[in-house]
Structures are given as C-alpha cells and as structure tokens.
Amino acid sequence: MTALFTIILSFIGALVCGLMPAGAHHRIRWVALAFAAAGLGVSTVCCVNYSGGEFEDFLEAEWIPSIGISFVTGYDGISLPLLLVTGLVAVCGVLFSWTLESRANQFYAFYFALIGGVYGVFLSLDLFLLFVFYEIAVVPKYFLIAIWGGARRQFAAMKLVLYSFGGSALVLLGMLAVFFLAHDASGEALKTFNLLKLQQGQVPEADQQWIFPLIFVGFAIMAGMWPFHTWAPTGHVAAPTAASMLLAGVVMKLGAYGCLRVAVGLLPAGAQDWAPWVAVVAVINIVYGALVALKQDDFKYVIGYSSVSHMGFVLLGIATLNLTGMTGAVLQMFSHGVIGALLFALVGTVIYSRTKTRMLDELHRLIDRMPGIAWVFIVAGLASMGLPGFSGFVSELYVLIGAWGSLSGWIVGGAGLGILLTFGYTLVKIHEAFFRERKTSDPGDAEISYPAMTLPEKIGVAILLGSALLIGLCPWLLTDKISLSLERMLERFPN
Amino acid sequence: MDYQQLLLALLPDLLVVVALFAALGVDYSRMRGSRLAERYQMACRISAAGLIAGLAVILVQLTQAWSFTALASMTDGQLELNTGTLTLKALLYAMGLGVLPLAKRDQITPQVSEYFALLLLATLGMGFVVTSRNLLGAFVALELVSLSLYAMTVLNQARRASAEAALKYLTFGAVSSGFLLFGLSYLYGATEQLDLNQMTGLTDEPMLVLAYLLIFVGLGFKLALAPFHLWAPDVYQNAPTPVAGWIGSGSKIAAAALLIALLKPVSSTLKDALIPALAALAVLSMVVGNLGALRQTNLKRLLAYSAIANAGYLLVGVVAFSEPGNTSVIFYILVYSLASLGAFGVVAVLTDTLGRDAEISDFNGCWTKTPGLAVAFLVFVLSLAGIPPLAGFLGKFYLFYAAIGAEPGAASWNDGFYWLVAFALIMSVVSLYYYLRVLKAFLVAPSDDGKAASIAPIKIGWAAGVTLCLLAIAVLALGLWPEPLLNLLSD
C-alpha cells in the first residue's frame, strides 16, 4: 500500500494546486514542492524496504470483473529505479520552475496529473490499469507544452500527442489480442489483464509473432525509437523546462518500461524472434541521434537528439535478452532520466534565463561570463557522454557487454561508433557554447557577466548530479535489485 | 389483462403526460399575460416536476417492488420492463430533466409551453422505444420522438437557417422512417410476429436480409451513420442548442437500443450476411465523421461530425453480435450521450447571449472568464475523445473488447474484427486532432477581448450549473466505476 501513495499524493497535488488562486504562485510552488518531495520520499522508502526479486507491496482488488479487469499494483526491481527517477525529476522540475508565475495553479495541476500517471504506469500490474495510467500521462503533456511552451509550441504539442496516441492505439490492439489469446498450461483461455496471471500462462507462439511488434513498437514510439522519434526533439524543445525534464526524464522511460514489462515480459518467444531487428533499430537510434545532434545549432535540440541517442542504448539493452544487457537497459533508464533532465534544466532554464538565447552561434565564451554554471554543464555533459564515475558509464558498459554476449559483432561495432560520436558531439557543443569566441564581434555584449545560480537551481543540480554520481560509484545499489527481478523474467524464456 | 398492473407499469409515462398537459394548460390560462421569463419559469417547473415524479416511480419499479415479469407476453412485447430497459428509461428521464434548465435559459420562442411539451413528448417517446419489444409499438414511439424533434428544430422562427435545417431534417427523416417501416413490415412478413421476444434464430433468407438492410437505412438515419448523415451537421448547427443536445443524446440512445433489440433474434447465418453491411457503415461513418470534423470551424457542426464518427465506433460493438457486444453498445451510447449533452450544455450556456452561431474561436480564453465551464468542457470532450479515466474511454474499450472477443483467433489478417478495431483506433487518433483544437480554444488560447462579439462572462444559473456538474461527475464516475451500470444493463 505504501507505493500507492505516490499516485494518490500526485493526484491530490494536482487537485490542490489547481484549486489554489492563480495569483498565489509564491504559495503554489511551495505546495508543489511539498507534494513532489512527498512522492520522492515514498519512492525512496519503497526502495529502501525492497528486499529482492519478487513483487512487493502487492495490492489486488476487483475493479471491473465483468471484463476481466482488476486493480493490481506492486513493484519489483525493474520498477523501483523508475519510481525513484520519477520522484527525483518531479522535485527538480519544481525547483527549476521556481520563477514561473503565469497560470501557476494550472501548470502544477497538469504537472502533477502527468506525474501521477507516470507513477501509475510503473506500479500497475494489470495491463488495463497500466494502459489507463499511460494515457492519463499524455493529455497533460499537451497542455503543458501548448500553454507554457516556447516557439512552435502548438505544433510540437499536437505532434507529440498524436504520436503518443498512435502508439497507444497499437498497444491497445495488442493488449486485447493478448487478453483473448493467452491460455494456461492446460490450454484454457485465461481472459485476464492481470500481468502476473498472464505471465503464468502463455500466448501461442504463432500469435506472439505479430502481437510482439504491435506492442513493442507502440510503446517504443514513446521511447523515441527511430523512425518514430521525431516527436521527441520538437516536443522537448518547445516544452517549458519542467515539462521537458519530465519528457526526457520519465515519459520516454514509460515507453521503454512498457517494451520491457509488457512486450518482452509477456511475449518471450516473439521477443526472441524480433530481437535482432530491435537491435538494428536501436543502433540506428544511437548513431543517428548522435549524428543529428552534431549538426544542431539550437542547444536544446542537441540535448533533444542526444536523448534519442541515449534511448537507443535502452532499446539495445532490451534487445540483448540477457541479464547483463537488460540490467544495463534499466540502469540506463535511470541514468538518462537523471542526466537528461539535468541537461534540459541547465539549457532550458539556467542558461536560457540569463542569455535569452539557445542558439549556439550566439552563445560565446560563457566560461568567462558564467563560470560556475559552465563548469556544472561541462560536468553534466561529460556524465551524459559516459564518463566513468557517473551512472551513464556503468549502464552503457552493461549494455555493451550484454550485446557482446548475444548479438552480432556489427551491432556492437555500431554501438561503439555511436559512443565515439557521442564523445564528438558532446565536446564540440561544449566548445561551441562555452569556449568559442563569437564570429561577429559585438564588444559591448561580451563584457556582460551573468548572475550565479539561484538557490533552487543549485539544489536541483545537486540532487540530479549527486544521484548520477552516487549510482555511478555504487551501481550495486540498483543493479542488485534490478537483476534479481530480471532473472525472474528471464526464467520464463523458452529454451 | 391485469389493468392494475398495466397502470403501475405505465405510471411514469402517465405522470409525464399529466405534466405535459399541465404545462400547456397553465401557460394558456393563468400565465397568459405574464412576461416571457415567468412563463418559461413556470413551464420548466411543471415539466421538471413531471419528469422527477416519473423518474421516482421508475426507480421504485427498478427496486422490483412491483413485478412485471408477465407484462411482456400480456402486451405482445409492447412493454418489456426489466432491469436493463428500466435503467435506460430512468437515465433518459434524468437526461431529459437535464435539458430543461438549458431550454429555460435560451428563451428563443414565445411558444413556451409547446417547447416544453415537445421536450416531454420526445422524452416520453424515447422511454417507450427502449422499453418496447414490439415492432409497431417501437416504430410509433420512435416516430413520436422524431416528430417532436423536427418541430423543436424550427422553434426559433427568427432564424431562416433553422427553418432550412428543420425542413432537411423532416424530409430526410420521413424518407428514412419509410425505409424503417418497410423493413419492419418485411420482418413481420417473414416471421409473422410483431413481438421481438417471440422471434428466434432468424436465418439468412433473402427477405430477412432485405428487411434488415432496410432497417439499417432507417436507423442509420436516426443514428447519423454515414451515408445517411447529411442532415446532421445542418440540424446540429441550426437547431436551438439544447434541442441539438437532445437530438445528439436522447434520440441516439433510443435508436441504438432499438437496433440492438432488433438484432437480438438474428441467427449465425443471417449474422454473417449482415456483418459486411454493418462493417461498411462503420468504416464509412468513421471516415466521414472524423475527416469531416477536421475542417469545421463551427463548434456545433464539429460536434455533429463527431456524432457521426461515434456512431461508427458504435457499430464496432454491434458487429460482435454477442452479449458483451450488446451491453457495450448500450453502455457506449449512454456515456457518449452524457458527454455530448454536457458539451452542448456548455455551448448553450456560453452562447445563448451571443445571438449568432458560435465559431470555435469565439471560445478563446474561456478559462479566464468561466474556468468552471472550461473544466467541465474538458471532461466532456476528453470523454468523447476516449481518454481515460473518463467514461468515453471505457465505453470505447468495451466496444473493441467485444468485437475482438467475438472471434479472437487470428490466423490471417481478416480473421475476426482485428482490422475493424485497428481502423477504429487509427480514426480515434485522428479525432484527437480536432478535439484538442477545440480544447485549445477553451483552455490554451488567450482571450481576445478586442473582439466585441466573443463570449462575455455570464451567469450560469444554479439549475444549469448543477446539471453540468452532475453530467461531468457522471462521466468521470462511470469511467472509474462502471461495474454497477454494466450489471444493470446486462440483465
């Protein structure tokens, strides 16, 4: 029951913030911070209490028995890191929106509705319930982007929502097929959406062949899978900072989590047959995302495409279908959630609010003019690049080792190329933004030095960078839990 | 025949008829010289009293204090009062009650008592359609509904467009009624039965196939299925908004319930002959409705196209030809109607002072002027779009569930209804574009105060406010906890 409070608190938070008067943004942000922190607290408690392997904090109740729908929640080692990252990003999102004044009550209403949906997905153990939460998380994104976003926000918001619902349409179809086709050992139809019961039974192998791509692609659209990734950069760029942190930090993980928990978890035979294709697409994601990031002029687009590239590692990890690779995938979800959110916060709020531009050719020698912020960004950029000591290094290493074990050498080579390209664009873009002299000289402008980070920004940076560092140094804090639960999932694989 | 039992069974309808005559009589005698507002007030109160009394009696009937088990056979199926039909009738009366305060606000005509009398007549007819299992009884009741609605469409005599829309509605409607009656007569000719309960296992003889095709034309018109939808956009746009709301909700429930009742005796051979026609209607309606709605700039017209699209989704449940399918269709049309009535209610409240058709852009900045209405509208439109946790999502899910469950095996792509469900899902994604465009005006866009004609802050009035609030709560509650209603309907 403990974990359920993350969902309940978020929705109560949405209601409370929404009902507060619009002018009271000073009070609203404290209320929002309190609710976000409470959510983080609950997920931390869950994480600390969790012992291993099985589902804990299990809750099962009848909901709509006439169509086989029950209310089942619980978490295991796969959902825990994601609960944690949701809590972290939710708190930091509030911190980095500290100065938001326009329609603050509505902003946090949508913000918490989104977070509640995300927590719900990670905790649901009933396919229908999971889908409901998954869809609940979509609509608030539209409003967050369309109301508070930047340039081209209407377009970006609509594109993001249509892509999301396109994905859910595929998932829904696959989900209904699983419901009707799954049977138990004796061949009797299960007719249930309960994930645990579905895992006990199985879907006929011939049907897994076509259901797996439906569900996998449906979820992977939200994970930014090539060629359906284009919503991600435009959406991230147009979104207000807190929303782009959530988008990159947790919403993309919803998709990856769905791929892992539902597509791979329920359809192992389908997963085995399709894994090589998934791996190919994942490598395209890694390499293509990095190449496109290299060519961007807008700092936020660079981060947007780097997200696409990093999500490729998650997909690659899932495609390995072995313990090491999949552990890496889950760890990469955590890692990119934290670091991606940090990068978006730095570019979208910390740098942009001072320079009023995100175009790389207009930024120049920021290292002199905002040294503190510049060094924080450089550290974050290196963390994203996979510097040892940060979580990104560990997770990508796990994924590559896993891929070496089960996928062809070309795939691993491609991923290695992707890592080199990641080094390339990270260093090039850091150079362009922080060290390069501006081509057109405007002597007056170059003298301006910018104010240092505010306290909320400092706290936010400390939380996100600290957790990336902590997991980078002590990955066993999470990997132990992740791999115990993944073992349970892999036990059910044929052969 | 046990007349006492008949009286008890028909007591709700009698109460409504009494209220109808009371409204007419009082308006013509005591209120003769009164101001328009007072006459509206009085007529609305009398009608509301009648519907509330009727509703109360239906609720007592639902508790099965009186037993009507033998009634259906005694009356040749004219009255089939079981839990399912009584629930539908109660919901129809409750929704009719919700239309009254909206009609009272919008004082479009000096013929006050006629307006309310027609509203009550339409509600009465809908109640009969859903409780009747007799071909003739159901047809007459459906005509009662239609004729009342034709007349109400033209009540605003100041608008030429209303007259044009009503004329279209009447001509199309008359032709379609002809088709329906023709189909019913073939059905009677083939089975020699008027009582639907007595018909079972109808096979695919040509006469019956023809009968059902004719019935689809007739009911397709009432449900605004493409290609019989041509009247809908004009009527929705030009009828008084509360009337359009009632056309888009109550009459749809009646028609869908009748369609399900008529399809129940179909055997599997006839079923196979009818499915292609139904599937074609479904696909066509989804395409016409969703693609048509993309281009609309008028909100009521957009809701008309959305109604066409939703009628298409509805047929996805009909083709299942199963118990869950039938329940899902009735459930869906109910939740659709609640949301549709709510959406029209919000439009009615916001635009009845505007004095002209409301374009979508007229609602810009609604969130600053009337945030409550904007939130209510959000709930209604998201339910129409099928977003959880609102009832519209569950309704749609249940339709697809039933369609796939009818034939879950899938050896090739055209086995079962996977393709139809996939098509409906794609179309739902398309529909999101226009629903969000409307919501953008309500919730995202800043208000353009420079424009003189945009909607002004207005007094909602307690009755309309409570109605909209209850509708929004119902839409949310049925999404979160549909089980009780599903159980009542599947009885």
Tell me the C-alpha distance between A127 and A125, whole Å.
Answer: 6
User: What's the rounded mean pLDDT across residues B412-416?
Assistant: 70
- Asked if the model's pLDDT at residue B449 lies above 70, the reply is no
Query: Mean pLDDT, chain A, as a whole number?
Result: 89
Dig out the tokens for A94 from the structure. Answer: 């509030």
User: Which residues of B make CB contacts under 8 Å with A?
Assistant: 324, 367, 382, 387-389, 393-394, 397-398, 400-401, 404-405, 408-410, 418, 421-422, 425-426, 428-429, 432-433, 436, 440, 443-444, 482-483, 486-487, 490
Q: What amino acid occupies position A384?
A: S
Q: Any idea where the domains of chain A sit in the sequence?
A: 4-491
Is A181 an interface residue toward B (CB < 8 Å)? yes
Q: How many residues does chain A have?
A: 495
User: What's the rounded mean pLDDT across residues A16-27?
Assistant: 87
Is A179 an interface residue toward B (CB < 8 Å)? yes
pLDDT per residue as tens digits for the range A361-414:
777 777 878 888 888 999 999 999 888 989 999 999 999 999 988 888 899 999
Contact in structure between B338 and B379 (CB atoms under 8 Å): no
* DSSP code, position B360: G
Query: Quick check: B408 and A139 CB within 8 A?
Result: no
Q: How confident is the model at residue B456 (pLDDT cuts 50, 70, 90)?
A: low
Residue B69: what pLDDT? 74
Tell me the C-alpha distance between A3 and A425, whole Å.
Answer: 39
User: What's the rounded mean pLDDT across residues B250-261?
Assistant: 95
Query: Which residues partner with B134 through β-bridges?
Result: B195
User: What's the rounded mean pLDDT across residues A145-174?
Assistant: 92
Query: Quick check: B425 and A172 CB within 8 A?
Result: yes
Q: How confident is the model at residue B92 (pLDDT cuts 50, 70, 90)?
A: very high
Distance from CA of B440 to the nearest CA of A (A): 8
Tell me the C-alpha distance between B331 and B395, whole Å.
Answer: 6
Query: Quick check: B393 and A135 CB within 8 A?
Result: yes
Q: How many helices (H) and strands (E) does chain A have?
A: 24, 2
Query: Mean pLDDT, chain B, as a whole number?
Result: 90
HEC-encoded secondary structure of B440-453: HHHHHCCCCCCCCC
Pick from A7, A11, A62, A67 the residue to mutate for testing the B interface (most B CBs within 10 Å): A67
pLDDT per residue as tens digits for the range A467-485:
999 999 999 888 988 999 9
Sort out which chain B residues have CB atoms less than 8 A from A146's CB and list them. Answer: 440, 444
Query: Quick check: B400 and A172 CB within 8 A?
Result: yes
B160's CB contacts (< 8 A; 6+ apart) are none
- Asked if the model's pLDDT at residue B363 lies above 90, the reply is no
* Rg value, chain B, Cα: 22
Query: Quick check: B443 and A147 CB within 8 A?
Result: yes
Query: Quick check: A169 and B426 CB within 8 A?
Result: yes
Residue B254: what pLDDT? 95
Tell me the C-alpha distance between B338 and B95, whole Å.
Answer: 8
Query: Quick check: B428 and A142 CB within 8 A?
Result: no
> Which residue is closest to A147 within chain B, CA to CA?
B444
- Asked if the model's pLDDT at residue B65 lies above 80, the reply is no
Q: How confident is the model at residue B233 (pLDDT cuts 50, 70, 90)?
A: very high
A174 vs B352 pLDDT, higher one: A174
Tell me the C-alpha distance between A131 and A258, whole Å.
Answer: 9
Task: List the single residue in B421, B433, B444 with the smallest CB-CB distance to A162.
Answer: B433
Q: How confident is the model at residue B411 (pLDDT cuts 50, 70, 90)?
A: low
Task: List the single residue in A67, A132, A170 with the smallest CB-CB distance to B401.
Answer: A67
- C-alpha A300 chain-centroid distance: 17
Taking CB atoms and an 8 Å cut-off, how many pairs form between chains A and B?
80
User: What's the rounded mean pLDDT across residues B75-90?
Assistant: 88
Tell me the C-alpha distance between A111 and A249, whole Å.
Answer: 14
Q: How confident is the model at residue A441 (pLDDT cuts 50, 70, 90)?
A: low
Q: How many beta carbons lie within 10 A of that of residue A472, not counting itself? A: 20
Q: How confident is the model at residue A90 (pLDDT cuts 50, 70, 90)?
A: very high
Sort out which chain A residues have CB atoms less than 8 A from B444's CB and list them. Answer: 143, 146-147, 154
> Which residue is closest to B445 within chain A, CA to CA?
A147
> Which residue is closest to A134 within chain B, CA to CA?
B388
Q: How many beta carbons lie within 10 A of that of residue B280, not counting itself? A: 14
Pick from A139, A162, A164, A211 the residue to mutate for testing the B interface (most B CBs within 10 Å): A139
pLDDT per residue as tens digits for the range A260-290:
999 999 999 999 999 999 999 999 999 999 9
Contact in structure between A162 and A141 (CB atoms under 8 Å): no
> Which residue is closest to B431 within chain A, CA to CA?
A162
Sort out which chain B residues have CB atoms less than 8 A from A173's CB and list them. Answer: 418, 421-422, 425
A200 vs A361 pLDDT, higher one: A200
pLDDT per residue as tens digits for the range A291-310:
999 988 888 899 999 999 99
Task: List the single residue in A64, A138, A146 with the smallest CB-CB distance to B482.
Answer: A64
Q: Any idea where the domains of chain B sit in the sequence?
A: 3-490
Tell me the C-alpha distance between A333 and A257, whole Å.
Answer: 9
What pTM, to 2 d.p., does this model score? 0.94
The ipTM of this complex is 0.92
Task: List the single residue in A132, A136, A180 with the smallest CB-CB distance to B404.
Answer: A180
Pick from A64, A170, A221 the residue to mutate for testing the B interface (most B CBs within 10 Å): A64
Is A163 an interface residue toward B (CB < 8 Å)? no
Residue B424: what pLDDT? 95
Dig out the tokens for B264 from the structure. Answer: 């129940």
B460's CB contacts (< 8 A; 6+ apart) are B349, B370, B372, B373, B468
pLDDT per residue as tens digits for the range B275-333:
999 999 999 999 999 999 999 999 999 999 999 999 999 999 999 999 999 999 999 99
Q: How confident is the model at residue B412 (pLDDT cuts 50, 70, 90)?
A: low
- Asked if the model's pLDDT at residue A201 lies above 90, the reply is no
pLDDT per residue as tens digits for the range B100-114:
999 988 788 888 889
